[in-house]
Amino acid sequence: MDSRYIMDKSRVSGVDYSFRTGRSVRSPPDRHGTVLYTFVLDSAAEGKGENLAAKGIGLSADGRLLHVVEKMSRREQHDAGLVEGLRMATPPHCPGLNGQVPRGLMHLDIRNPGAQAELQGQGSTPTERQPHSSHIPVPRNRKPSGHADKEVMAATVLTSLSTSPMVLQPSSAPTVPEAANRGWKEVLSASYSSSTSGNWSWDASDQSVPSTPSPPLSNDSNKNFLLSSNNDDISDDIHESTHFMFEDPIPRKRKNSMKVMFKCLWKNCEKVLSTSSGIQRHIRTMHLGRNSDSDYSDGEEDFYYSEIEVNMDSLTEGLSSLTPTSPTTTAPPPVFPSLLVDVPHSEHIEVTGPHSHAPSLLSQSAPSTLCHIRTDHAYQGPVNHVRPVSTGEKRQPAISTHTAVTKSHAFVTPATKATPGTRKPRGEAKKCRKVYGMEKKDMWCTACRWKKACQRFTD
DNA sequence: TGTGCCGGGCT
DNA sequence: AGCCCGGCACA
């Protein structure tokens, strides 16, 4: 067997595996009936080759991962090395292997590296792992646990289903009940070693932008987590225990790393807050148009947010790997200042997806967009003297955003800059030079021609 | 590096 | 006053 599959970028215990493609080669069963999978990773992994090598995975000279672990017997390599290699190199989504996990060796749920990491103990990193010389002694065809366990799990799942607001969105991507359900099924049908699934897979690449009708929706909840909870007061033991009791039918998670967050389900609002009161206030004020000063709640906002679980380990790793200027993570802050003013900063987590700038139906965040629309084509006619407000201007600092209005302030108020002269702040509008270009200099206003302040496109 | 424009010189 | 340009600040 030699099946190709796509390996999504995944992250396992702090190691970023950027393998894009790979190949699994199935070896003949040994005398134990063990089926071995050797993963051959294509050169897409080159960038991480050294990293992997440092973690103890053998690489060939050209950066391919050809085999795992030296100085071990073939048997040990198979049992430990390959398992280790699979643990470390296998991304969460391996469609080609789903449902085809060979018995014996492959007890690990290869779709869930987090679960595998857990097998190594909490917080273990690949560098900390030592190859084990014996395979995990899980009998084949293991039956699910007894009736008592089933009942407990079923009860827990039912409880979860009945309490979670996500029931309202059957089409949602990994919702809590769904995850719980999956975990439950796995617990009942598979071995213990795969029981901690239902974790979040932090693969933002396969997240599609939702375009479903407004509220509620939560299709891309995952991708928000990575972007959201940097400055957050997350530690909340009440939520933690509640989450454990009602949301998590899975026997043991890494409790320390799982946090409950609250995600706004309003369309195009991907705000994630750490407290229910915060998200309720957000919904009340931003979407329901309620008075932000009043804490009165009629419960309606409960329908528009949901609890989500966040793996803080993955979260922090993801955050640490993001550059502060990453265009996917930082939206231009000054664009919608009105979005930010009502929410206390201690609780506010601005989650700005690719489409989140679109104003929600009831949100008050539209004015600047409308302004831009109005002046989008201001430059297309030479006689159009509507003051251009450029949409494509790179610079949009808070200072210069309102220079058109407050320009006189630059002369009245003390100079904010250290520059000695009283040089006018540069205007936002495109000037004749930019509008007409050097080749049409005769169309410039005289001031521009004389290198003076433009008179046609004044600020 | 391109752009806006201040300051100043020249006619 | 009109014209021109060196040079600075800024993005």
How far: A390 CA to B2 C1' (Å)?
Answer: 17
Residue A240: both structure tokens together: 């933690």
The pLDDT of residue A261 is above 60: yes
Judged by average pLDDT, the poorest of A84-93, A137-146, A156-165 is: A84-93
Same domain, A200 and A331: yes
Instruction: Report the nucleotide nearest the CA of residue A447, measured to C1'.
Output: B5
Same domain, A246 and A98: no
Same domain, A255 and A157: yes
Residue A95 banded pLDDT, cuts 50, 70, 90: very low
CA–CA distance from A147 to each of A249, A252, A264 (Å)? 15, 19, 38
Tokens 């450029």, residue? A390
pLDDT in the model for residue A175: 36
Residue nearest to nucleotide C9 (CA to C1'): A423
Q: Which of residues 436-455 of A touch strand B (CB under 7 A)?
A: 438, 448, 450-454
pLDDT in the model for residue A455: 82
The pLDDT of residue A401 is above 80: no
With CA atoms as reference, report the closest residue to A253 among A262, A261, A241, A265. A241
pLDDT in the model for residue A263: 80
Instruction: Report the nucleotide nearest the CA of residue A457, measured to C1'.
Output: B4
Query: How many domains, in total, are found in chain A?
Result: 3
Q: What are phi and psi of A60, to 5 degrees?
A: -80, 175
Under the phi-then-psi rule, with left for phi > 0, alpha for psi from -120 to 50, and beta for the rest, what region is A69? left
pLDDT in the model for residue A288: 80
- Asked, for residue A63, whether it belongs to a domain, the answer is yes
Same domain, A187 and A238: yes
Q: A24-28, A106-110, A426-430: which has the highest mean pLDDT? A: A426-430
What is the mean pLDDT of the segment spanning A133-145? Answer: 37
The pLDDT of residue A63 is above 70: no
Same domain, A257 and A163: yes
Residue nearest to nucleotide C6 (CA to C1'): A451
- Asked, for residue A168, whether it belongs to a domain, the answer is yes
Instruction: Report the nucleotide nearest the CA of residue A451, measured to C1'.
Output: B5
pLDDT in the model for residue A266: 76
| Residues 6 or more apart in contact with residue A398 via CB below 8 angstroms | A334
pLDDT in the model for residue A286: 81
Domain that holds residue A381: 375-449
Average pLDDT, chain A: 44
pLDDT in the model for residue A123: 35
Q: How many CA atoms lie within 13 A of A287 on its CB side?
A: 23
The pLDDT of residue A53 is above 50: no
The pLDDT of residue A351 is above 80: no
The pLDDT of residue A34 is above 70: no
What is the mean pLDDT of the segment spanning A137-146? Answer: 38
Judged by average pLDDT, the poorest of A42-46, A261-265, A268-272 is: A42-46
Same domain, A336 and A214: yes
